[in-house]
Amino acid sequence: MKVVTAQEMAEIDNLTIERYGIPSLVLMERAALSVATHIITLGVKNLIILVGPGNNGGDGVAVGRILKNRGFNIKIFQLFPDDKLSNDCKKQLEIAEKYGISIFKRYPTKKELSEAEVIVDAIFGTGLKKKIEGDLAKLINLINSLNKIVIAVDIPSGVSSDSGEILGIAIKASLTVTFGLPKRGHILFPGRDLVGKLFIEDIGFPKELTESEGLKVSLITKEFVSSLIPLRPLYSHKGTYGHVLVIAGSVGKTGAALMCAKSALRSGAGLVTMAVPLALKVVFQSKVLEEMILPLPCNSQTLSKDAIKKIEEFINEKADVVAFGPGVGVNEDTEEILKFLLTDCHIPIVIDADGITLLSNKNGLLKRAKAKVVLTPHPGELSRLIKVPVKEIENNRIEITQKVAKELNTVVVLKGVPTIISEPNGNTFINTTGNPGMATGGTGDVLTGIIASFIGQGLNPFHASVAGVYVHGLSGDLAAKYRGKQGLIAGDLIDNLPQAIKELSDEMDK
């Protein structure tokens, strides 16, 4: 499902009216009916509807008229003077008056708000750009303090539809009913916290518009990921499912390499080999069963650049994909290994953690890469890589991920809430799985292993990243279901990977 900006949604709305001939009032009626349908299920009778100046206000007035006709007690509060109203909003108010609805051209009192069972927020829609201040801000603050059921029409007033930013103050909704497609502000924080339960209603926008390739951002759906999960044909063997080379681990960071390798196996890789420092051979050998190890020349802490020759031989003879970075260490030796991988390696490379830190002063290497590359930074790592403050990255997660993917010609997986995945041509997915219990050390190493595993099984790096991120979050959700979020650890995700993939495979069998 596509996710849109306010401008993209306005364009869809305008084309529906102008190209397809569906009048704006017809779309408004359909939108209002969808909101009214949700309110009817609540089993309440006394409503206050707060009406703003634009077509969002017109939607709210139409909701009131539909419910009045079904026996509801409706009070409409017109918060802006007549000369500020859109034509469609004025028209809906004229119709509402003929239906005998009480329309008050003022703000409701605290007593009136307290007596209502439901408050409908139809003040501002997706077009709001400036901060809410003054008396209106005081009204919203009062509404939020009353602990009432609040229904937001399209988006809670005060939430930026493009960034999720709170524009001064915003309505905290119990549920939000939006139309056609979700907006970015429904998905991105902090706005997501104010949306409540989100309902996306079809009000008749043509599929040609809502599924247009020109809309670059989509939500990851279970159905889409299910279609990506590699099949396991009867006539196959371990070589069929890819050989992952994990170049990771150093003194004090053996766990990162082990978790990356184990998650690759649990995600379906046929073979996994860990390229590790020779000095740590005994440590790794004592911890692995299904994984293989490739002990390589090392210095006192990490792999040495003298390991490059053996890495090259292994890649040329056996490997299908490389996972580089978890716990690998940051020094001149590991930098030389990464430089070799980017300039000479012909198979896809997933780079995480220390690998991204090594690139922080070597961005040019990525532009010289022979193979396809996936970067999986968290905001701090991306900040070091592109020299942009973390706060700016967090406030523009989608745009910055798209920009970096294009400029560096890589797939970029910006981890966080929510995780964003972009490829160089701008196609972008927003993840819909995962929970706060996953905010613990090692979960990024697990994700690296999953993505590398899916690449090894034949998915292209972008689809492998999309599927990997979704499966990673789903395994975390399954783990939280049985263990809770407080004590969740990365190993719990690995344990639940087979079940997560089974759920997706079962979806395909329906």
Instruction: Write the burial class of residue 125 (CB in 10 Å: 0-12 exposed, 13-18 middle, 19+ buried).
Output: buried
User: What does the chain come to in residues?
Assistant: 510
Contact predicate 120/44, CB 8 Å: no
pLDDT of residue 510: 63
pLDDT of residue 361: 77
Domains, in order of start, for the chain? 6-213 (3.40.50.10260), 222-509 (3.40.1190.20)
Contact predicate 223/274, CB 8 Å: no
CA distance 160 to 377: 26
Tokens standing for residue 408 = 């560096």
Contact predicate 126/176, CB 8 Å: no
The single-letter DSSP state of residue 235 is S
Within 10 angstroms of residue 364's Cβ, the number of other Cβ atoms is 10
Contact predicate 233/261, CB 8 Å: no
pLDDT of residue 509: 66
Considering only CA atoms, which of 230, 265, 276 is closest in space to residue 453? 265
Helix axis angle for 490-509 and 254-266, nearest 10°, is 10
| Ranges of the chain whose pLDDT falls below 50 | none
Q: Is the dihedral of CA 187, 189, 191, 193 positive or negative?
A: positive
DSSP state string for 100-155: T-EEESSPPPHHHHHH-SEEEEES--TT--SPP-HHHHHHHHHHHHTT-EEEEESS
